[in-house]
Amino acid sequence: MFQRNSSTDRQIRNQCYATRLYLILIFISMIIMIFYHIIETPIQSKVLLNPTESQYIELEQQYSHTLSCPCSSLSMPHLTFTQIRAEYHQICSSLWILMNWIEYIRASAFEVVSLEPTDFRIHAPGQFSSLGMFCQQAKQTIPEAIEIFLQTKFISSQVISPQLFQIQMNSSIEDWKLTTMNTFLQTIQLFRATTNENQLSNHFNSYFSVNSISEVTKQSVSYSQSPCVLTPSSRMNMSLYTMKIQCYSLPNFFVGRYPIESLFSSMLQCFYGMSCLLNIHRCLQSSVSFTYSPLDINLNNPNETIEMIINRLMVDQWISNISYSSYYHQCAPISSTFQYEGHNNFYFLLASISLIYGGLSLALKLLIFIGLYLIDRILQRDFQSIKQIFICGTEQQTIHCLHVVLVITTLTILYVNFAFNSSIRTVEILKPSLTMYDELLRQSSHSLECPYSKISTKYKTFLKLTPSFHEVCSSDLLSKETIAYFYYTYIFLGRVRSANFLSSAAAQFQLLASFCRLSKETVHNSLDQLAGNDFINVQLLSSTLLNEQIQRIIDDFQISIPKRFVNTLSLIRETTGANVLTNLFSSNWAMKVPSKTLDGCSCALSPKCVSSSRGGIKDCLDQLDYYRGIQISPINSCHFSLNTTFESILNELMIEQLTSNVSYELYFNECAPTSCIYSYVDDNHIIEGITTLIGRYGGLVIICRLIAIFIVNYNLCTPSRITN
């Protein structure tokens, strides 16, 4: 293999040794490379174009950790793959809320000369009308809420598995149902609180009396041992009377100071049994015909209160149909990429070995040839011949010299270009940890990009908001004992002017307690709703940017949520005032033709007319200590000043402070970036330059040899042409 034209026996023997050495080295090298490529299990990537749903599910089962199928559509409305409907409580489709039933009761009332205060004929029409109203409101609210939900977008940057899709959709639907019910109930609860604590009067909760000097006063009706003023939910069983003698008492169907309050406490127990209905029919003796049809006891629990039914929006069952196939069709992934560890196939092995063999064979031949030549000259002590390698006397020597110069020059230029030239390097880190991300952020904050593995995540996975409320909400001012004390002191003092603090103190503090309770419920419900919302971002945010964005969301939350609450409250206030409803305190109307005027404000024209109750609360409490020995702790507030009105405090939902706790670690784990990419300027490529030269050496030697031959032959041919 290394034979030359003129060789001595020793040279021939050395050439044989060199050939054997070459064969041994090339054989060992190839065996090592073949063995390495056979046992190697590199991570291999494969792309499947336009995968079908069944193909995706199969891939997801096998390669769930590395499978990536980007959606061609980033967002899609829920209605494209979801259907929702509600099955309402049977009372909403029964005869008991129709006008036929109500007219049947009223007809019976007309036939009775005098009715007892708790008679079924008086209270039932209003209660069943209210029950029908709640059914109507629920049937109007739910379809509107369903339409809004179905129009909202489901955001998905990647196809998700059927199991995860089902979990996410069920969670979204549950959050939506909770939000819908809370919104519906918030208005009802606010209306109940303002009606109860404003002590609005009707013929169920008050009556008029005339004293010896012809002054008309209102007094509260009591349905239990405790006054209605102190217990708005006080109630009595509703009964049917014949000639003022109780004919039948309806089980767990109540009458109270307000029809809505007594309705909420009542049960439909009587209307599930035919025997109870026959007793009602027997006692009513109405001239109008009516066909009794009891409720189906197999569909609902007779012992649940009507409030429990209303609290779930009159719904017995929510039915949702979620189609994964429709979701997959809307997502329509163009490709699916997955990675796996696998052995190299035969074609890859053959190509790799062939490629390595060419460069390795040439390098070994050259090294052995040079080594053999040097050894031969050293043994002959012919160092002058070594110098003659670079003497260009003959054509072959010239080609050889030029070849060496071209190779050395080209290698030098390439090395300098690779080793000392600045270049922008892009590095991708797969599945970085939080520690690695922090390190990358410190080094390359301006160029670092870490795409989300999923484009949205729930706030509740990394954010916790804890509200603290005004101290008055937890003070003993709002305790039942304090409120009872104000009321009984008012009763003890007898005739007290309406402008006196004691005349309305009990109701005012009851109302304040209700506002505290409703504010807390509203805030907690809104926080639950926020926790279920999606935090959307395509890139992983640093801790600083995340905190800034969360703070903006909190600021918006503290503005928007109180505004909705106050708007509803204002609507109720204005409606109550516009309906010129009186209360038990006679603070807005007296039993005279002219309306009352407070501080120049006509109570007939505005429900917001107020007058001073003679000093602040502290002064009043100091005076009241004359009557009682209980000490009331002073109220301290860091956020609200001492001169802040209750309205201003309520306008902020009584929130003293809203504390946020953002867990960046949970946020990072939830985002789970599949990779982080960053760029940097690299000025040092010494090792890479050497590696590059080694990789290109084999081909470069051949190219330079051809160039040298061409140049020498061209130069030798040129003088011949000139001579001719």
317 pLDDT tier (thresholds 50, 70, 90)? very high
Is 653 a residue whose pLDDT tops 70? yes
Nearest one of 227, 209, 211 to 219, comparing CA atoms: 209
**For 149-153, 505-509, 657-661, which range has the lowest pLDDT when averaged over its residues?**
505-509
CA dihedral 39, 40, 41, 42 (to 10 degrees): -170
Question: What is the rounded average pLDDT of the residues 631-644?
Answer: 67
b/e burial code for range 60-81 (CB count within 10 A of at least 16 → b): beebeebbbbebeeeebebbeb
More confident residue, 317 or 208: 317
Residue 447 pLDDT: 78
Q: Is the pLDDT of residue 6 over 60?
A: no
Does the pLDDT at position 70 exceed 80? Answer: yes
Average pLDDT, the chain: 77
pLDDT for 212: 46
* Kind and range of the H or E run holding 536: strand 534-536
Asked if pLDDT for residue 208 goes beyond 50, the answer is: no
Give 44's contacts (C-beta < 8 A, 6+ positions apart). Answer: 339, 340, 341, 342
Say which range, 352-356, 562-566, 650-654, has the weakest mean pLDDT. 352-356
Task: Using DSSP, state whether 205 is helix, strand or coil.
Answer: coil
* For range 61-71, the mean pLDDT: 85
Whole-number pLDDT of residue 337: 87
- Of 304-318, 488-502, 666-680, where does the model show the most confidence? 304-318
pLDDT digits (tens, 9 = 90+) for 505-523: 777 888 888 888 888 888 8
State pLDDT tens for residues 152-169: 989 888 898 999 899 889
pLDDT value of residue 627: 47
Q: What is the pLDDT of residues 393-437, one digit of tens each?
A: 666 767 777 777 777 787 777 767 766 666 667 788 888 888 888
Among 106-115, 132-141, 393-402, 472-481, the range scoring the smallest mean pLDDT is: 393-402
Q: Return d(Cα 428, Cα 440) in angstroms, integer.
A: 11
**33, amino acid identity:** M
**Which positions ≥6 away from 159 have C-beta within 8 Å?**
56, 69, 70, 71, 328, 331, 333, 336
Tens of pLDDT along 548-558? Answer: 888 888 888 88
Across 14-19, average pLDDT: 73
Q: Quickly state the pLDDT bin for 611 (edges 50, 70, 90).
A: low
**Closest by CA position to 168, among listed 461, 467, 515:** 461
**544: left (phi > 0), else alpha (psi -120 to 50), else beta?**
alpha
Q: In the structure, what pLDDT confidence band is assigned to residue 373 with cuts at 50, 70 and 90? A: low
- Residue 45's pLDDT band (boundaries 50, 70, 90)? confident
More reliable by pLDDT, 433 or 706: 433
Residue 515 pLDDT: 86
Does 625 score more than 60 pLDDT?
A: no
494 backbone φψ class: left, alpha, beta (φ>0; ψ -120 to 50) = left
Beta-strand pair 463-469/456-458:
unpaired
pLDDT higher than threshold 50 for residue 210: no
| H/E stretch holding 120 | helix 120-151
Asked whether residue 356 carries a pLDDT value surpassing 50, the answer given is yes
For residue 253, what are the contacts with CB-CB under 8 A and spacing of at least 6?
120, 237, 238, 266, 267, 269, 270
pLDDT computed for residue 268 by the predictor: 94
- The whole-angstrom distance between residue 14's C-alpha and the CA centroid of its chain comes to 79
State residue 689's pLDDT score. Answer: 61
Residue 629, pLDDT score: 47
580 pLDDT band (50/70/90 cuts)?
A: low
Q: What is the DSSP string of 36-86?
A: HHHH---EEEEEEES--HHHHHHHHHHSTTT-B-B-SSSEEEGGGTEEEEE
DSSP state of 426: E
What average pLDDT does this structure show over 268-281?
Answer: 92
The pLDDT of residue 87 is above 90: yes
581 — phi, psi (to 5°)? -80, 140
Give the residue among 618, 615, 616, 644 at the shortest CA–CA distance from 631: 618
Q: Using one digit for the tens of pLDDT, what is the confidence trace for 375-395?
A: 766 666 555 555 555 556 666
pLDDT for 452: 76
Other beta carbons within 10 Å of 689: 19
Least confident of 66-75, 242-251, 376-385: 376-385
